[in-house]
Amino acid sequence: MKGENEVQKILVVDDEDILRMLIEDTLEELEDVQIHTAEHGKEALEKLAADRFDLVILDYMMPEMTGVEVLGQLDEALKAATPIMMLTAKAQDTDRIRAQEAGARYFMPKPFSPMELLQIVEDILREQN
Amino acid sequence: MNRTKFANLSIRSKYFRIISAMFVVVVLTAAGLLLYINSEQHKLSRERELLQNKAQTINELAVTLNDVFFRARGYTALKNENELELAYEALAKLGTVLGDYSRLKLSPEEAQFRSDLQSFSIQYGNETLPQAVAFVQKDDYEGVRALSKAGNTEKVNNFLAYTKDYKVRADQLLSDMVRQAIRQSNMFTFAAFTLSALLLVLFTLIIWRILRTLVNPIIKLEAAAHSLAAGEAVLLGELHTQDEIGRLYGAFLNMARSIQDKEEELTMQNEELHAQQDELHDQQFRLERSLSEIESMMVALNQSSAVAILSPKGIFTYVNENLAQYTGYKAEEIVGHPYRLFELRNLASVQMEEMRRKLGTGMVWSEELLMDAKDGTPLWLHTTVMPYLNDEGAIYQYILIASNITSVKKVQQELAATLTRTEETKIMLERSNQLNHDITYTLDKQEFAGRFIDFMNGQFAFDSSLFLLAEGGIVAAKGIPPEIVERYLHEEGNMLYRMQTEKSYITERPATSLEQGISPVQLTAYDYYTSVVNAEDEILAIFCGTRVGASFSAEETNEIQGLMNRVALAIDRLYMVEEIEHARKLNLDIINNVAEGIQFIELDGTMGQMNKALSQMFQYAGWKEGNRLPLAVWLEHLLGQVKESGELRNFYTQAISAAFPDSGSMKYSLDRDSLKHMDVYAIPVFRREERFGTLFVHRDITREYELDQMKSELVSTVSHELRTPLSSVLGFTELLLNRTMKPEKQQKYLQTIHREAQRLTDLINDFLDLQRMESGTQQYSPEKLNLSELVLGVIEQYKLGSTHHILYEDEAEYSGVEADRNKLIQVLTNLLSNAIKFSPGRGEIKVKLRNEPGVITVEIQDNGLGIPPDQIGQLFQKFRRVDNSAAKRIGGTGLGLAICKEIIEKQNGTIGMESAEGEGTTVWFRLPVLQPEPAGQEEELLKWSSEKEEKPSVMIVEDDYSLSLLLSEELKGKGFRVMHHYHPQQAFEQALKTPFVAIIVDLMLGEELDGWDLIRMFKHDERTADVPIVISSALDQAGQALLENVRTYLTKPYPPGELSATLQEILNTSLSSGEVLFPKDPAGQPGIDRTHNFP
């Protein structure tokens, strides 16, 4: 268990610069939280292998490697330990199911409300603490 | 080599050599030994002689010395002169003896002794003796005594003692020598003995060896000879020597082998003889058996048939009871008579000849013979005659065997008579039957008519006939020339007229010459006309027949009328069948031409029918109409090709079962190269309220399925594409609303929102555009356009403010197209902006126009990111973008290329691209070109292909696009390849790369560099210094300060023809030294001055 003052880390994976910026800016209000970003699946996997994150926000549709494919390459223990939120513009039920099967615990359809995202992320982080 | 040679020697010579060698060795050894002994003994005897000699000499010395002293003393004592004389004599003798002695071989001691003695004798002779003589003379005996005391006497005594000692020693040595000689001779004896013993041993060895070489093989040979004699196998190995024994061995072995071979051969022959003997026994036995069989057969034959034996001349020598009984003669009456006793009534002379020939060559002859019995009754005998041959092949007798077939013959004849009578009736019946059959089973009307005519001609002996079916105008005729048939048919009105009132009638007329034939009597021809009428009194057919020379009996007329009624029924039936067949074929055609696969399954699961579409769907290549396939066969074949075979099996099972309620359907897919999606529905089929099968209809819904799939994919993609910018817009707006932030940040957010909203708008516009195009609601307004002009116009728009240099290369001689101007501009803008977008940083973009047969090709080439080869094909589809991060960052709606494709294809063009990842992309499109002179098209094509390489290149550096276009059109028309540049630096670089025949420079170019700068650059670089330059400027040449450096000057506006004429001149005169040309000025002054060189 982590101490109250310890810094928590979030990894934001999205191929759209603007959306990464939006999420970063949204979450910047959180205290003691470090935000890391990755531009594509490969970078995300590298960062996940190197560091432990308290939350991963993962875009579904990305070139070369989709969010589900990223999850497919993560090992089960890491997935069980790390809360994963799938962000997707494909708000269909099949995508939600696919994301869940791949190991994503949370699901956020695009377009999303930054305030809502902030609220959920806060809750998840508190839970993690 | 030596060994083989040695081994090859014969034993005799081998041993001869050995013995000779040994003899030589022994003789040499013995001789050597003898010589040695001899020399040893000789040496010994010499030594002894020497020693004896020495001893004698020394002894003599001692005697002489003694004598000397004796005489000297005698003189001294007696004073006798004689004594003195003797003393001198002795002294002289001593000298002689000493001389002898010194000649001997002396040891050093002896030599010392000799020299001592010599010096003493000399001294004595010369001094002592004369002194003593003197003393004696003086009688000084004191002196004599003193002298003797002086040592002489002692010396003499020493000498004497030495000689005595020496003698003793010499004796000793002599005896030693003798002993040694004895010992030596002993040794020699022993050596001689040893030598002889060795010799003996050697000889023994040789003899033993000879014995072994000779005797051993002989013993073996003996044993082998014994075993050979005993008939056993000769176990004698090959002896590998070539000597006598070896050869003997070889000879023996050969002999033994040949004996054995002979023996085997003999044994085999013996066995063969035995076998032959057995076979003979066997044959004998069989012969005996067959003999007995023959005997019993003979007995049987004798009892059942007539048997006779004839002599070679044909005289009966034996006749059995049966023959006698058949012929009615007694046996004795026949024997002794020739065969001609019986006259053969049914044999012609040819057959008799044949009989004689056959029998003469020893063959069996058999025939049925008719003859008279004794009582004159006819007798039929089935007779067989066999000639018997003796050893020389000559016939010695004939055996005749005959059986009585008289009664059989009689019955046969009676039967034949009956048969002939029934035959005629049978033919009539058969014809009638055939007609019945024909009219019942023939479904083809023409065939029916033909057969009917045949029947009528056969049955009623019509010479010519005609049968006409009213419906369809089918005619069958026999014996009537076609033109007459034609006439009959076209004048049928007359015929039918009478037919309507009279069902049938007969006309009588004289036969025509054709009908008359060769008959000498005038014949009458009877024509029979009759109609075939159905129950409704409609005439179905007409029959006309002509019979020459015989009229028709009432019986025949009745028969024909009855026949016509039957034919009427048959024709009715024929029409009915035809109708049914037609309907069936129609149904079948309908079914087979339906795109859906249809199958009819009976209640037990048998497939009774399927259509062509179904057999193609499931690849039933061998299926033919009418085949009935059992359930297991067709269902397994079908399911084998289906992915969802389990579900489909269930569906079929339920649908076929009687409990199947109404109808049902299911979807499945066929496992082919490309998956085929199918839909099948089943309907129960009822006949008179009774279910008798199920109809299955299969429909290929692949297209619908794919469309459906594409639609849902499109919806999903569009939703994704729209949601992403929407996320940004909504998200940033929300942040702006909910947070307080610095104005710069607000600004940034607002910009982002604006950009994303713009992207959203573009996306929606593009999407709607595309949707409109695809749905066909897009209106195109084609007009005649100059594509060169259009392209240049679009490039013009990009020229300002673009980071990318756009190079325009126009080779197209014909650039007229018929297309929608705005749409083409949209395409060009789209492609150009893509090229710019996907080559980040600065880069050169080339736009090329060229003609290919019948088309104009526009190429837009960049040196940008390029496209992975596997994605090229997809890029013209909707929402396809190059799927990598670099391209992602650049962005875009992913609809541009799809729109371009849609537009170009709507203008009857094609679009495509080539690309290498990391190197750049070339997108091209082709449009049909409008040909100004269609007649010359082929020639032009040739010109294009052959002259492409040789077209002279010209560069225009001009920033006014309309002028540029004007010049370019003019030059292209004159066969130049034109390249456009508007940027001086780029133009310069281009000139370094491409050899130009001339460069046309506008003086007013840009802000950084103007035309003069460019000309300076060209002229100062040695690579371009030689290229002729033509100046085109709006400024009057007089107003230019730099004019002295310029020799070619065109003042705008000038007719384009002037420029091309100038260039033509450059080409014609092949100027290459950099001379600059002036075109003709309007005043008509000579415009070309070649004297001035550019500095």
Residues B876-888: tens digit of each pLDDT: 777 666 666 566 5
Burial pattern B63-93, b for ≥16 Cβ within 10 A else e, equals bbbebbbebbbbbbeeeeeebbebbbebbeb
Residues of chain B with pLDDT below 70 are 1-9, 150-152, 231, 233-242, 491-498, 800-802, 842, 879-893, 932-950, 1004-1008, 1033-1056, 1068-1095
Per-residue pLDDT, B1077: 43
DSSP letter, residue B127: I
Question: Between chains, do A115 and B734 touch, taking CB under 8 Å as contact?
Answer: yes
* Strands lying side by side in the sheet with B474-478: B474-478, B464-469, B539-548, B524-533, B504-510
Per-residue pLDDT, B1006: 61
Burial of B954 (C-beta count, 10 Å sphere; 0-12/13-18/19+): buried
* Nearest neighbour of A39 by CB, restricted to B731, B735, B885: B885
Per-residue pLDDT, B945: 44
Rounded CA gap, B1016 and B403, in Å? 140
Q: Parallel, antiparallel, or unpaired: how do β-strands B920-928 and B855-861 relate? A: antiparallel
Shortest CA distance from A39: residue in chain B: B885
Per-residue pLDDT, A58: 92
Q: Note if the bond before B1053 is cis, omega within 30 degrees.
A: yes
Per-residue pLDDT, B373: 84
* Nearest neighbour of B884 by CB, restricted to A29, A64, A114: A64
Chain B positions touching chain A (beta carbons under 8 Å): 716, 719-721, 723-724, 726-732, 734-735, 738-739, 752, 756, 883-885, 887-889
Show residues of chain A in contact with B888, CB under 8 Å: 15-16, 63
Question: Between chains, do B727 and A61 touch, taking CB under 8 Å as contact?
Answer: no
- In a mutational test of the A interface, the residue from B709, B718, B723 whose CB has the highest number of chain A CBs within 10 Å is B723
B1077 contact partners, CB below 8 Å, separation of at least 6: B1028, B1030, B1047, B1048, B1062, B1065, B1066, B1071, B1087, B1088, B1090
* Nearest neighbour of B728 by CB, restricted to A15, A18, A63: A18
- Would you say how long chain B is, in residues? 1095
Chain A positions touching chain B (beta carbons under 8 Å): 15-19, 21-22, 25-26, 29, 39-40, 61, 63-64, 89-92, 109-115
Residues A8-43: tens digit of each pLDDT: 999 999 888 888 999 999 998 888 899 999 988 899
Question: Between chains, do A113 and B731 touch, taking CB under 8 Å as contact?
Answer: yes
Per-residue pLDDT, B933: 53
Mind telling me how many Å the CA of A1 is from chain B's nearest CA?
32
Q: Note if the bond before B108 is cis, omega within 30 degrees.
A: no
Structural contact between residues B528 and B556, judged by C-beta atoms closer than 8 angstroms? no
Rounded CA gap, B184 and B178, in Å? 10
- In a mutational test of the B interface, the residue from A13, A14, A16, A18 whose CB has the highest number of chain B CBs within 10 Å is A18
Structure tokens at B1088: 């070309």
* Nearest neighbour of B735 by CB, restricted to A26, A90, A110: A26
Question: Between chains, do B885 and A15 touch, taking CB under 8 Å as contact?
Answer: yes
Question: Between chains, do A111 and B730 touch, taking CB under 8 Å as contact?
Answer: yes
Show residues of chain B in contact with A21, CB under 8 Å: 752
Judge whether residue A121 has pLDDT over 90.
Answer: yes
Per-residue pLDDT, B893: 67
Mind telling me how many Å the CA of A69 is from chain B's nearest CA?
15
DSSP letter, residue B238: P
Rounded CA gap, B530 and B552, in Å? 13
Q: Residue A91, SS3?
A: coil
Mind telling me how many Å the CA of B747 is from chain A's nearest CA?
14
Residues B48-103: tens digit of each pLDDT: 888 888 878 878 877 887 887 788 777 777 777 787 788 788 878 878 887 877 77
Structural contact between residues B972 and B1011, judged by C-beta atoms closer than 8 angstroms? no
Rounded CA gap, B895 and B759, in Å? 12
Rounded CA gap, B708 and B334, in Å? 114
State which amino acid sits at residue B166.
Y
Structural contact between residues B772 and B803, judged by C-beta atoms closer than 8 angstroms? no
Shortest CA distance from B717: residue in chain A: A90
Question: Between chains, do B735 and A61 touch, taking CB under 8 Å as contact?
Answer: no
Count A/B contacts: CB-CB distance under 8 Å. Answer: 69
Mind telling me how many Å the CA of A44 is from chain B's nearest CA?
14
The total of other beta-carbon atoms located within 10 Å of residue B1064's CB is: 16
Show residues of chain A in contact with B729, CB under 8 Å: 111
* Interhelix angle B445-460/B554-593, nearest 10 degrees: 160
Question: Between chains, do B735 and A22 touch, taking CB under 8 Å as contact?
Answer: yes
Show residues of chain A in contact with B724, CB under 8 Å: 16, 19, 89, 110
pTM: 0.41
B269 contact partners, CB below 8 Å, separation of at least 6: none
State which amino acid sits at residue B189.
T
